[in-house]
Amino acid sequence: MTGTDPAQQAGERDVRRAAELLRAGELVGMPTETVYGLAADALNVDAVGKIFSAKGRPSDHPLIVHLPDAAHLVRWARAIPKEAIALANAFWPGPLTLILEREEGVPDAVTGGQDTVGLRVPDHPVALALLRAFDSGIAAPSANRFGRISPTTAAHVREELGDKVALVLDGGPCQVGIESTILDLSRGMPVILRPGAISADDIARVIGRRPAVRTSHAEEGAAAAESDEPRVSGSLAAHYAPRTPLRLIPAARLVEEAATLAGEGSRVAVLARTCADPKDARLTWRNAPADPAGFAHELYANLRDLDACGADFIVVEAQPETPDWQAISDRLGRAAVGSGDGEAELDEHDET
Ligand code: TXA
Ligand code: MG
């Protein structure tokens, strides 16, 4: 969405400076192909602590460690299963995070005290240049405040956390646009903890068995948050959320419901995919790409823009219930629950 002047994109000198800042225990905004990360030296407990205070994130939520390449795996994980090697070879650099048993020396601050660690090699030239210059693991959650929309441009990071980071490396708009697939390989049975651009089918093609997908309904997310399960903040109900209440409405009812809300005096922003703009002056209408990759690429920038346009409601055209839309439905489902003041906004037409 937001175009970036190539002249503003990070060059070698910025990358060297960012690596120095990381070594000095500072935080840096780092582009990846998924979303921007809030980066710190994963072995520096004080620096990692700064991530949690900057985000306002509970300190027992584990962070993903980003590596320059798969050869670094052995420093961070032990008992690396063959499936992990096969998946790393197939998808790294790329939007897949592997949860593995952690090696000694991986700080509790990074793993949330768990005996596992999340690892990935991001597919972005600036991130890879930084990782190579730094030559060690970089802990980086998405560079948003806890529970809010992940940033997909350098400007988003500056808006949200500009006062907390020493430097934001500009890598342009993130190509994928939603967070990596998280696959837990630490318990024998492979389980997808967070769906992303790499699907269960993609994984099955490589390892010859289908991972289970931890279901992502908001109530189950809330229940998981209460339980002793590994804490995946992406599984909390109120996540990825705009401040404006968000409703998901099937295409067949989209225009009618938006008009009804507007008729009741609400200002309504619409994110459509297949529905045509009815040119109703009361609606702020935005069309998103109709294919999942294009839709994901623009999703968070669209939500940010619509959140900022002063509407009382954001109405989003619901997605097909097919596997290629699963990661997007997951994010939008949580956005609906977590939006507004954090309470679920129940559509009066919903039976539940
Ligand atoms: O695409 C991404 O994964 C982005 C970019 C910056 O790499 N990062 C990201 O980080 O989304 P974050 O912290 O916002 O989400 C990572 C998720 C969290 O929900 C965390 O709980 C989970 O990964 N996670 C990390 N380590 C884990 C572990 N050992 N076991 C279970 N979940 C883990
Ligand atoms: Mg996040």
Identify whether 93 is preceded by a cis peptide bond (ω within 30 of 0): yes
Ligand 1 mutation target, pool 63, 64, 116, 331, most atoms within 8 A of CB: 64
186 lines ligand 1 (CB under 6 A): no
The whole-angstrom separation of Cα 147 and Cα 152 is 15
Q: Which ligand is closest to the CA of 150, given by its number?
A: 2
Q: How far is the CA of 246 from the centre of ligand 1 (A)?
A: 24
Nearest ligand atom owner, CA of 40: 1
**pLDDT per position in the chain (352 positions), as tens?**
445 566 678 999 999 999 999 999 999 999 999 999 999 999 999 999 999 999 999 888 999 999 999 999 999 999 899 999 999 999 999 999 999 999 999 999 999 999 999 999 999 999 999 999 999 999 999 999 998 999 999 999 999 999 999 999 999 999 999 999 999 999 989 999 999 999 999 999 999 999 999 865 444 444 444 344 444 555 555 567 899 999 999 999 999 999 999 999 999 999 999 999 999 999 999 999 999 999 999 999 999 999 999 999 999 999 999 999 999 999 999 999 888 864 443 333 322 2
pLDDT digits (tens, 9 = 90+) for 276-297: 999 999 999 999 999 999 999 9
Cα dihedral: 100, 101, 105, 109 (round 10): 70
141 lines ligand 1 (CB under 6 A): yes
Nearest-ligand number for the alpha carbon of 160: 2
CB of 33 closer than 6 A to ligand 1? no
CA angle (77, 197, 83) in 5-degree steps: 35
Pocket of ligand 1 contains residue 110 by CB under 6 Å: no
CA–centroid distance, residue 66 to ligand 2 (Å): 14
pTM for the whole thing?
Answer: 0.91
Span from the CA of 127 to the centroid of ligand 1 (angstroms): 16
Nearest CA to ligand 1 atom 20: 232
Contacts of 250-256 with CB under 8 Å at 24 or more apart are: 250/317, 250/318, 251/275, 251/317, 251/318, 253/349, 254/315, 254/317, 255/280
pLDDT of residue 233: 53
All residues with CB under 5 Å from ion ligand 2 = 142
Query: Which domains does the chain carry?
Result: 6-235 (3.90.870.10), 246-338 (3.40.50.11030)
Closest atom, ligand 1, to C-alpha of 122? 7
In the reported structure, the alpha carbon of residue 247 is separated from the centroid of ligand 1 by a whole-number distance in angstroms of: 26
pLDDT at 96: 98
The letter for the amino acid at 140 is A
- Cβ(313)–Cβ(246) under 8 Å? yes
Ligand 1 centroid, distance to 88 Cα (angstroms): 17
Kindly report the protein residue whose alpha carbon is nearest to atom 21 of ligand 1.
Answer: 232
Query: Is the CB–ligand 1 distance for residue 22 below 6 Å?
Result: no
Q: Spell out the alpha helix ranges (H) of the chain.
A: 12-23, 45-55, 73-76, 82-91, 108-111, 125-134, 154-161, 200-207, 218-226, 251-263, 292-307, 326-338
Angstrom distance (rounded) from CA 174 to CA 31: 7
Q: Is 118 in the pocket of ligand 1 (CB under 6 A)?
A: yes
Q: Cβ–Cβ contacts within 10 Å for residue 163, how many?
A: 7
ipTM of this predicted complex? 0.99
Q: Ligand 1: which of 30, 51, 63 to mutate, judged by most atoms within 8 Å of the beta carbon?
A: 63
